[in-house]
Amino acid sequence: MDETHKKILQRNRVKLVTVLDPAKLCDRLLEKGVFTQDMIDEIQSAGTTRRDQARQLVLDLETRGSRAFPLFLECLRETGQQSLAELLQNGAPAVTLQPATPTKLEIQPLPISSPMDGDKPSKVPDCPLEKPSTTPSPSPNGEQLRPKPPGRIRRDSIQNYKMDASPCGHCLIINNMEFDPQTVLSNRKGSNIDCEKLERRFKALNFVVEVKTNLKQRQIKCELSALSKKDHSQYDCCVVIILSHGTEVNHNRFPGAVYGVDGLYIPVQHITNYLNGQHCPSLQGKPKLFFIQACGGDEKDTGFEVSPDEINASFGGLDDQTDAIPMSSSSDSLSLSDEVDARATLPTPSDILVSYSTFPGYVSWRDTQAGSWYIETLDRILEENGSTDDLVTMLMMVNNEVSQNSAKGLYKQMPGSFNFLRKRLYFQTQAQ
Residues with a known catalytic role: 245, 295
Q: How far apart are CA 367 and CA 189, in angstroms?
A: 8
Three-class DSSP labels, 89-142: HCCCCCCCCCCCCCCCCCCCCCCCCCHHHCCCCCCCCCCCCCCCCCCCCECCCC
- Residue 9 φ then ψ, to 5°: -65, -45
- Residue 392 φ then ψ, to 5°: -60, -40
CA distances from 358 to 12, 99, 285 (A): 33, 53, 27
Partners of 258 in the β-ladder: 246, 266
Distance of CA 301 to the CA centre of its chain: 24
Under 8 Å between Cβ of 353 and 391: yes
Under 8 Å between Cβ of 304 and 255: no
Q: Name the nearest CA neighbour of 60 among 31, 36, 92, 87.
A: 36
Q: Give the neighbor-by-neighbor strand order of the sheet with 365-367.
A: 320-322, 365-367, 371-372
Under 8 Å between Cβ of 405 and 315: yes
Q: How far apart are CA 281 and CA 290, in angstroms?
A: 18
Q: Which residues contact 165 (CB under 8 A, 6 or more apart)?
A: 234, 235, 236
Q: How far apart are CA 59 and CA 298, in angstroms?
A: 41
- Residue 326 φ then ψ, to 5°: -65, 135
Q: Is 276 exposed, middle or buried (0-12, 13-18, 19+ CB in 10 A)?
A: middle
Q: Is 403 exposed, middle or buried (0-12, 13-18, 19+ CB in 10 A)?
A: middle
Helix, strand and coil in the chain, % to nearest 5: 30, 15, 55
